[in-house]
Structure 1
């Protein structure tokens, strides 16, 4: 089967989760409680992310963008990984619960923008409003926000091997739909708990090694 790669952004491509870094820096009241309800799956990702950004004033737009673009760090080996996928003919899509105002600038010049699927933001109101251009399809009832399973269904065919690369709660439903997961942190723990086929990674050189072994063995 032909591998199709779906890679998370925050905490996977970048060393840290940029939404969490924004909240830690600007410290809006109540953000940690909302974060905890998302991680415990008491509320959906869409509801939690929407609420957490609504705590921030739109007037802080420039400061927020400047902060995240100056502090985000891309995980070692990612640029080489993009080249590896292209050289081997593996379609690679970035599927992110992050927001366009930082996801796309950070990835500019590394991967084509039309291969990036993420949420967007409006700064027109008093507080930041998150928009959801990739909401759940009729097969998903999880209120994902940026629905990774829906995107996977849209972009793959029956003869594709679905490989998900990620780290967090936003990757869990996609991982359940995949043929194989390359995971770290929260997602790795859940792959073990749910007995999903997976391997762990630290950087994208590890990811390439895992994919190469699978390619040789196939």
Structure 2
């Protein structure tokens, strides 16, 4: 019997056309945040450490201004609503697994993806600067200090039952891609897939993924 396809999709830079964390930092952070970003991409510091330190540069009083900035400037990648409809029509479970933060991820996905289908980081604005919370930390099998640990989430779903499809664009998706049965990649994740010899299918928009899955009619 074939396995059940299940989709785990990144948010920033995948569902959205650009990375919202980077956009927020460019707009609001003081000089020096780029060093943290570069250290994360080079895997010199963990994603959790880098993201936590970047947001700690921002005053909590900026919360509403940041939300407004993201809602006004972020753009959904072409074909995403159609992709959600396709997954629903084909009865394919769909989850967001995001290194993004709840205070901007949830508003953008409201009415599109149910909150219980979204795994992302949390936030605390009760202190002077923004503090990031980590409700989905690494399990005993992961030592990468991911923050929102995507491989730990994937491991919650039985390998014998599910054909795991990962869709992503960056370093935050690499560890999940290593566990996936199928990877759709763009941007920096393509480089990391090549470097780690992970098979992948490139995509520019969600119509590409729909077309590929329809053509393939997954049988695993």
Q: In which range does the TM-score fall when normalised by the shorter chain?
A: over 0.9
Q: Is the 8 A contact 2:5 2:218 kept in 1?
A: no
CA 1:114–1:128: 2 relative to 1, 3 Å: same
For 2:49, the equivalent position in structure 1 comes to: 47
Instruction: Note the C-alpha offset of 1:217.
Output: 6.2
Alignment of 1:92 onto 2:65? no
- Partner-residue secondary structure (3-state), 1:101: helix
Of 131-140 and 185-194, deviating more is 185-194
Tell me, in whole angstroms, the C-alpha distance in 1 between the residues paired with 2:216 and 2:161: 16
CA 1:130–1:211: 2 relative to 1, 3 Å: same
Tell me, in whole angstroms, the C-alpha distance in 2 between the residues paired with 1:160 and 1:27: 41
Instruction: Note the C-alpha offset of 1:59.
Output: 1.3
Q: 1:57-76 deviations in whole A, cap 9, x for unaligned? A: 11111111111111110001
Tell me, in whole angstroms, the C-alpha distance in 2 between the residues paired with 1:143 and 1:214: 35
Tell me, in whole angstroms, the C-alpha distance in 2 between the residues paired with 1:98 and 1:140: 19
CA 1:155–1:216: 2 relative to 1, 3 Å: closer
For 1:158, the equivalent position in structure 2 comes to: 160
Q: Is the 8 A contact 1:4 1:156 kept in 2?
A: no
Tell me, in whole angstroms, the C-alpha distance in 2 between the residues paired with 1:101 and 1:27: 17
Tell me, in whole angstroms, the C-alpha distance in 1 between the residues paired with 2:94 and 2:158: 11
Q: 1:54-111 deviations in whole A, cap 9, x for unaligned? A: 0001111111111111111000100000010011111110000000011111011111
- Partner-residue secondary structure (3-state), 1:3: strand
TM-score, length of structure 1 as denominator length = 0.97
Q: 1:163-189 deviations in whole A, cap 9, x for unaligned? A: 100000000000001111000001011
Tell me, in whole angstroms, the C-alpha distance in 2 between the residues paired with 1:171 and 1:216: 22
Tell me, in whole angstroms, the C-alpha distance in 2 between the residues paired with 1:155 and 1:43: 28
Unaligned segments of structure 2, at least 5 residues: none
Which runs of at least 4 in structure 1 moved beyond 6 Å after TM superposition?
A: none
For 2:199, the equivalent position in structure 1 comes to: 197
Unaligned segments of structure 1, at least 5 residues: none
Q: Is the 8 A contact 2:86 2:210 kept in 1?
A: yes
Tell me, in whole angstroms, the C-alpha distance in 1 between the residues paired with 2:195 and 2:115: 34
